[in-house]
């Protein structure tokens, strides 16, 4: 019998996985999660890999394999893995009867062509795209509660969708008018892999735009706000901070409104 409160976590060595571990280890309803990684480096528990968990995060650490997860009684799996890894692992875990919450972008798009176009990766998971639920609880809580596969939303996309969706639902925006999403983020959103443009001397006391017209969160914003591609002006900037996002969004209203109405 699979226990939905027994959680398997794949990937904990990145910034996203580490934050996920903090949340799950403090969750009052869950049993202690088991963490699966490609390389344990001789560690048997999470606290041996990350000393900040000592005394409260002594969760088991296991070598990653699909068989190890599916042979456990875990009912839920969280994937804090790269897009291509999630695309490979999620179908196997779903077929074994687990519920999956994927933190990558592998299942965020309804169409396989959209994923392939924006992520420049094959989409072997096309059959699951129509079943995946986009994981913004403010919008889709009832669907998430019943979903077998939850696609965790992108960070920028979340900040933009939550601001714009109420306005588009009420038809408050001027038809066809441009919408400017001026977004700024800390550096941890780029991940842990070393890159020259993320070196301290490149980021410190600096502020720059990046990913203009090519940012992978663009299709999420379009799909969940209903905006047309020609309306959206989505510019992302890197701040010399560890984490956090500020999105300032400029719209043209169809009719004048009071601030209270908005």
Q: Output the pLDDT for position 38.
A: 87
Q: What is the largest CA-CA distance in the chain?
A: 63
Domains of the chain listed by start with CATH number:
3-152 (3.40.50.720), 156-250 (3.30.360.10)
pLDDT higher than threshold 80 for residue 177:
yes
pLDDT higher than threshold 90 for residue 4:
no
Q: Output the pLDDT for position 258.
A: 93
Rounded to whole angstroms, the Cα distance separating 180 from 249 reads: 6
Rounded to whole angstroms, the Cα distance separating 208 from 136 reads: 28
Mean pLDDT estimate for the chain: 92
Catalogue the active-site residues: 155
pLDDT higher than threshold 80 for residue 1:
no
Looking at residues 217-221, what average pLDDT do you find?
Answer: 96
pLDDT, one tens digit per residue, over 79-137 is 999 999 999 999 999 999 999 999 999 999 989 899 899 999 887 678 899 899 999 99
Rounded to whole angstroms, the Cα distance separating 254 from 247 reads: 22
């Amino acid at each position: 019998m699979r226990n939905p409160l027994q959680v398997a976590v794949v990937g904990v060595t990145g910034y996203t996985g580490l934050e996920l571990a903090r949340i799950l280890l403090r969750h009052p309803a869950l049993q202690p999660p088991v963490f699966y990684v490609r390389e344990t480096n001789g560690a048997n528990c999470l606290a041996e890999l990350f000393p900040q968990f000592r005394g409260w995060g002594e969760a088991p650490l296991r070598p990653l394999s699909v068989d190890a997860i599916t042979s456990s009684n875990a009912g839920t799996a969280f994937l804090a893995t790269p897009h291509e890894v999630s695309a490979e692992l999620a179908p196997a875990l779903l077929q074994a009867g687990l519920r999956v919450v994927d933190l990558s972008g592998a299942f965020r798009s309804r169409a396989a062509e959209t994923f392939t176009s924006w992520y420049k990766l094959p989409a072997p998971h096309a059959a699951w795209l129509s079943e995946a639920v986009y994981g913004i609880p403010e919008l889709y809580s009832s669907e998430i509660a019943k979903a077998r596969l939850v696609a965790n939303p992108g960070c920028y996309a979340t900040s933009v969708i939550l601001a714009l969706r109420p306005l588009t639902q009420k038809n408050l925006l001027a038809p066809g008018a441009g919408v400017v999403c001026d977004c700024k983020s800390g550096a941890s959103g780029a991940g842990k892999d070393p890159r020259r443009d993320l070196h301290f001397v490149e980021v410190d006391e600096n502020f720059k735009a990046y990913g203009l017209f090519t940012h992978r969160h663009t299709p999420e914003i379009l799909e969940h706000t209903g905006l047309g591609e020609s309306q959206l002006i989505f510019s992302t900037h890197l701040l010399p901070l560890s984490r956090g996002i500020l999105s300032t969004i400029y719209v043209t209203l169809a009719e004048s409104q009071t601030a209270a109405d908005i």
